[in-house]
């Protein structure tokens, strides 16, 4: 009987001893393998520049982007961080989606860190890849204003002007790039093509002679193309000398040699100059970012712990009469732990994010609605009393545009945009249910052509916290992680809708529109800032544009370094991180 009592006592203490042993093991394991500081610091933006530099230089752009995003949460107005964030997308891969996301980062860097060389230079590279040569020249001009001694920016400006049709500006920029780097193959190639397309035989011969003196100039393979450009330039020059004398004004009607853009000449011939256009094209940019961070610190081992006791007595008495009068009593005591739910991850941070960049373009006629939709159509069966039906749900991006007024300078329009996507969470207890996130914007706006209007903007921040603590044990310095569970969820949602109207068909840009504000400022300061010996009188006058329909500038003539170039990226990352001000 004594042995049974001792055994019963030991069984009663066994669950408590097991819990204590497990508690010490979890404390030691948590202290050794799951430090708190790293996960929590990342969500608060306490990231060091050395961590970002190490991740980007080691070829881990996704890891670097997570660190940069954490820092941007604390300092969203830091243009240098936006530049690094955009660069991380192009270092990861060369897809179109990454290029679009990188362009957003570069544009934000130019806006928030104006005048910084690398912000403008990478914005110029991105615009050049999109074949938006006017924007590329504007960005490269901003880079030159910050660093007039950088040959890469001059080479980029020369290439943008070459494809944009401003050959005089291309000659000026190419000559300056070659003067800064006289033995660089890229500068020699740029100067050679610009001289050839302009018909400058002496300049082309001098560049080829300099290139042949170098072991690896790379111009030998370009000789047929350079000769073709030179012959075309000489032919165009001969036509300009002969046709105006024979037929006054005939040069304006020669294909490929118009003094004004062909669209303007057609408009003038069709009717009065004050006729308003009847069509407009609107580019819509939808930016949506959702970021949810969930932190879980500690556990509570006593959650779900229950004590259960039971009692039973049994007594038997017998009488002589033979009839049994039975009364039984049995005493038992037990401690049971039916369920204890806990996680061995004492310190856990979980991040969910959703980023989308949508850029639909839509052309509409005055007074008539145009509609654009891209996405998926879901068919859901709905049961009725006697029969069922199918209901369709559109999930994707939808744009509706109705122009109200159109002039030569601006337009007034009604626009409705809808962006929706599937979400995993669902509410209710339906047999069939679909949950979607939907963003709807509708407004009437009046905007100048080429200007961008922020149609709508939304920023939402939600913080939710939860705590489960044992009164005394949860306040211990070390053991509190076993009896004090804390959970915090942070949600950040941001949505921006941008619209940019343009005249329908305005893909080609004339020389006068090519020289935008920053580029004009650079030309006015060229003598003081770049080269005091340059002759700017002829360049600042009105320049006639030459359009070569068949043998003019073609894709592949001039190339610029890729944004993911290792040497270029390393230099940009190093210079930018020295300017980042950590809070």
d(CA 527, CA 283): 38
Distance, CA of 13 to CA of 248 (rounded, Å): 112
Please say if the pLDDT value at position 541 is more than 80.
no
Q: Which two tokens stand for residue 120?
A: 């403008």
- Is 101 part of any domain? yes
CA atoms 204, 205, 211, 217: torsion sign: positive
- Is residue 257 in a domain? yes
* pLDDT over 70 at 539, yes or no: no
Q: What is the mean pLDDT of residues 182-189?
A: 87
Shared domain for 289 and 419, answered yes or no, is: yes
Is residue 176 included in any domain, yes or no?
yes
- Are 409 and 463 in a shared domain? yes
User: Does 228 share its domain with 287?
Assistant: no
Claim to verify: residue 493 and residue 514 sit in the same structural domain = no
Best-predicted range by mean pLDDT among 110-114, 381-385, 468-472, 561-565?
110-114
- pLDDT at res. 154: 93
Domain boundary among 503, 537, 553: 503
- Please check whether residues 520 and 535 belong to one and the same domain: yes
Cite the beta strand spans of 407-483 per DSSP E. Answer: 410-422, 436-448, 453-469
Residue 227 domain-assigned (yes or no)? yes
> Of 536 and 565, which is predicted with more confidence?
565
> Measured in whole angstroms, how far is the alpha carbon of residue 169 from the centre of its chain?
32
pLDDT band at 119 (very low <50, low <70, confident <90, very high): very high
Q: Are residues 362 and 483 in the same domain?
A: yes
Which of the two residues, 355 and 447, has the higher pLDDT score?
Answer: 447
Residues 359 and 499 in one domain: yes
- Rounded Cα distance, 250 and 519, in Å: 32
Alpha-carbon distance of 65 to 52, in angstroms, equals: 8
Length of the chain measured in residues: 583
pLDDT at 171 over 70: yes
In angstroms, the CA 250 to CA 260 distance is 13
Is 331 contained in some domain? no
% of the chain at pLDDT higher than 90: 9
pLDDT of 64 over the 80 cut: yes
Tell me how far apart the alpha carbons of residues 468 and 482 are, in angstroms, rounded to a whole number: 11
pLDDT at 557 over 90: no
Task: Verify that 291 and 391 share a domain, yes or no.
Answer: yes
The tokens for 310 are 């039971």
CATH number at residue 568: 1.25.40.10
Q: Are residues 122 and 81 in the same domain?
A: yes
Least confident of 205-214, 285-294, 567-576: 285-294
- Provide the domain count of the chain: 3
Residue 529 resides in a domain = yes
Domain containing residue 470: 283-298+353-424+433-503
CB atoms within 10 A of CB 271: 8
Q: Which of 465, 483, 503 is the last residue of a domain?
A: 503
**pTM confidence score:** 0.50
Q: Are residues 449 and 529 in the same domain?
A: no
Instruction: For residues 480 and 527, state if they share a domain.
Output: no
Return the residue matching tokens 């690398």: 118
* Alpha-carbon gap, residue 160 to 156, rounded angstroms: 6
Name the band, by pLDDT with cuts 50, 70 and 90, for residue 180: very high
Instruction: Write out 310-370 in H/E/C secondary structure.
Output: CEEEEEEEECCCCCEEEEEEEECCCCCCCCCCCCCCCEEEEEEEEEEEECCEEEEECCCCE
Residue 540 and residue 484 share a domain: no
């Amino acid at each position: 009987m004594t042995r049974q009592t001792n055994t019963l006592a030991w069984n009663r203490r066994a669950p408590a001893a097991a819990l204590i042993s497990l508690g010490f093991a979890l404390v030691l394991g948590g202290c050794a393998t799951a430090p708190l500081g790293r996960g929590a610091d990342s969500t608060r933006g306490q990231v060091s520049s050395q961590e970002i530099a190490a991740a980007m230089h080691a070829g881990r752009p996704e890891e670097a982007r997570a660190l940069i995003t954490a820092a941007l949460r604390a300092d969203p107005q830091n243009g240098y961080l936006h530049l690094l964030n955009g660069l991380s997308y192009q270092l990861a891969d060369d897809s179109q989606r990454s290029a679009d996301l990188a362009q957003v980062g570069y544009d934000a860097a130019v806006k928030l860190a104006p005048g910084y060389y690398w912000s403008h230079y990478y914005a110029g590279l991105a615009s050049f890849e999109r074949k938006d040569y006017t924007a590329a020249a504007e960005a490269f001009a901003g880079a030159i204003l910050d660093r007039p001694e950088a040959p890469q920016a001059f080479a980029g400006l020369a290439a943008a002007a070459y494809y944009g049709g401003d050959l005089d500006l291309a000659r000026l920029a190419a000559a300056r790039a070659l003067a800064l780097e006289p033995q660089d193959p890229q500068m020699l190639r740029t100067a050679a093509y610009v001289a050839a397309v302009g018909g400058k035989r002496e300049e082309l011969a001098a560049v080829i002679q300099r290139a042949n003196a170098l072991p690896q100039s790379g111009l030998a393979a370009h000789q047929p193309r350079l000769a073709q450009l030179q012959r075309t330039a000489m032919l165009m020059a001969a036509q300009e000398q002969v046709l105006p004398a024979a037929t006054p004004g005939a040069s304006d009607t020669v294909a490929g040699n118009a003094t004004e853009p062909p669209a303007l000449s057609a408009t003038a011939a069709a009717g009065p100059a004050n006729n308003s256009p009847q069509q407009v094209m609107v580019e819509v940019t939808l930016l949506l970012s959702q970021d949810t961070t969930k932190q879980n610190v500690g556990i509570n081992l006593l959650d779900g712990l229950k004590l259960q006791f039971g009692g039973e007595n049994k007594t038997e008495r017998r009488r002589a009469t033979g009839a049994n009068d039975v009364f039984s009593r049995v005493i038992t005591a037990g401690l049971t732990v039916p369920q204890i739910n806990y996680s061995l991850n004492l310190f856990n941070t979980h991040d969910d994010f959703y980023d989308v960049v949508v850029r639909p373009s839509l052309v509409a006629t005055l007074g008539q609605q145009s509609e654009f939709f891209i996405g998926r159509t879901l068919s859901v069966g709905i049961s009725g009393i006697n029969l069922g039906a199918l209901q369709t749900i559109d999930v994707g991006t939808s744009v509706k545009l109705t122009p109200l007024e159109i002039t030569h300078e601006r337009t007034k329009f009604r626009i409705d945009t809808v962006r929706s996507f599937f979400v995993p969470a669902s509410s209710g207890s339906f047999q069939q249910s679909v949950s979607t996130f939907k963003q709807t914007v509708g407004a009437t706006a009046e905007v100048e052509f080429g200007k961008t209007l922020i149609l709508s903007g939304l920023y939402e921040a939600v913080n939710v916290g939860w705590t489960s603590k044992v009164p005394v044990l949860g306040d211990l310095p070390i053991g509190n992680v076993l009896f004090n569970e804390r959970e915090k969820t942070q949600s950040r949602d941001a949505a921006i809708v941008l619209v940019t109207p343009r005249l329908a068909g305005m893909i080609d840009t004339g020389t006068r529109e090519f020289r935008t504000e920053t580029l004009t400022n650079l030309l006015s300061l060229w003598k003081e800032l770049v080269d005091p010996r340059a002759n700017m009188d002829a360049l600042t006058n009105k320049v006639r544009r030459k359009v070569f329909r068949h043998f003019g500038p073609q894709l592949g003539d001039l190339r610029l370094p890729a944004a993911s170039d290792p040497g270029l990226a390393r230099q940009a990352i190093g210079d930018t991180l020295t300017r980042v001000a950590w809070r």
